[in-house]
Amino acid sequence: MTPIRIGTRGSALALAQAGWVKRKLEERYPGIGVGTITIKTSGDRFLNTPIKAIGGKGIFVKEIEEALLRKEIDLAVHSMKDLPTEIPSGLRLLAVPEREDPRDVLVSLDNRPLKDLPQGARIGTGSLRRQAQILYHRPDLSVQPMRGNIDTRLKKLERGEVDAVVMAAAGLKRIGYENRISEYLSAEICLSAVAQGALGLEGRDGEPLMDEIAFLHHLPTALEVEAERGFLRRLGGGCQIPVGARAWAGEDRIRLTGVICDVDGSKLFRGEIAGWAKDAEKLGQELAERLLKDGADEILAPKEGVLAHGSN
């Protein structure tokens, strides 16, 4: 078996994710050479710029995909929620490993839960989805835009720039920061991003690597991600609209909840659908259609043509 070069972003979280894949491959194939190559993406270079201002789809994956196409790396390890719903020609999603905790969490200075934060408390997040749902639930709070990796956000919290931050449970757990979590936010308060907590292993189409890493593929997670991405794809494939989706796959059935909300939290459309797991993507699209007919199309209409995909 030939050596495998893994391409990844350089954040602590991205390196932890790539490191996990590297260890799994080395355990499965003793003696194989697995290397890690760090690639800086557009999303990493412009940390002081709001994601929507950078523009373009896949700002956290584009340069890594280009390295795949140039054969500088063999396998890309992405946070699945950063991967656009349309994958470039010549590439394909090879495996989706078992998902980490997909929930959003609150991290606050004094460990207070969301309900106990005082009126006007400042909540830091770089996600329009989180902003919209938090404001819908508690319009008295002040949401502050915040970019940067996990450590950067936690330092801003510690310096008192905000009173709390909303983050992904998966990221904190993967780098050993689970003890920082003040509250796990329920899906009723803050439904997670499409594919949150899941990894996407991407490679070149038609190469044997797909068979070699098939042992990492987790079918229930893949079906959940398929349903959630189907929901997002029907809405235009962009993450710069406040959209959340979470699927739960059983043996042969799947249930999906989706939300579409106004950025200021003034309107929120929520729905649920269930059906056969084999119809995962179709169910996601059906739920999106239902919410659009219920009035969510009014939220999306002003943003037509200017959607950008980003970390959410």
Coil/strand/helix, residue 46: coil
Query: Long-range contacts for 17-20 (Cβ within 8 Å, ≥24 apart)?
Result: 17/77, 17/79, 17/174, 17/199, 18/77, 20/174
Does pLDDT of 83 surpass 70? yes
Does pLDDT of 312 surpass 90? no
- Dihedrals phi, psi of 253, to nearest 5 degrees: -120, 160
What is the spatial distance between Cα 290 and Cα 98, in angstroms, rounded to a whole number? 29
Find out whether 25 and 4 touch, Cβ atoms under 8 Å: yes
What is the spatial distance between Cα 179 and Cα 49, in angstroms, rounded to a whole number? 30
Find out whether 283 and 251 touch, Cβ atoms under 8 Å: no
Residue-wise burial string across 80-112, b where 16 or more C-beta atoms lie within 10 A, e elsewhere: bbbbbbebbeeeebbbbbebbbbbbbbbbeeeb
304 pLDDT tier (thresholds 50, 70, 90): very low
**Amino acid 241: pLDDT:** 77
DSSP labels, 196-262: TT-EEEEEETTSTHHHHTGGG--HHHHHHHHHHHHHHHHTTS-SSS-EEEEEEE-SSEEEEEEEEE-
Coil/strand/helix, residue 283: helix
Q: What is the arithmetic mean of pLDDT over 278-288? A: 98
What is the spatial distance between Cα 243 and Cα 232, in angstroms, rounded to a whole number? 8
**Amino acid 50: pLDDT:** 52
Tokens of residue 80, six digits: 């699945």
Enumerate the β-bridge partners of residue 75: 6
Global pTM value = 0.89
Q: What is the arithmetic mean of pLDDT over 36-43? A: 88
Q: Based on the number of CB atoms within 10 Å of its own CB, is 22 exposed (0-12), middle (13-18) or buried (19 or more)?
A: buried
Tokens of residue 8, six digits: 């990844």
Enumerate the β-bridge partners of residue 144: 124
Does pLDDT of 224 surpass 60? yes
**Amino acid 190: pLDDT:** 97
Classify domain 104-184 by CATH architecture.
3-Layer(aba) Sandwich (3.40)
- pLDDT tens-place string over residues 227-244: 999 999 999 865 467 999
CB atoms within 10 A of CB 120: 9
- pLDDT tens-place string over residues 177-219: 999 999 999 999 999 999 999 999 999 999 999 999 999 999 9
Residue indicated by tokens 């659009």? 292
Tokens of residue 2, six digits: 């030939």
What is the spatial distance between Cα 25 and Cα 279, in angstroms, rounded to a whole number? 31
Tokens of residue 46, six digits: 């412009």
**Amino acid 59: pLDDT:** 82
Annotated catalytic residues are 82
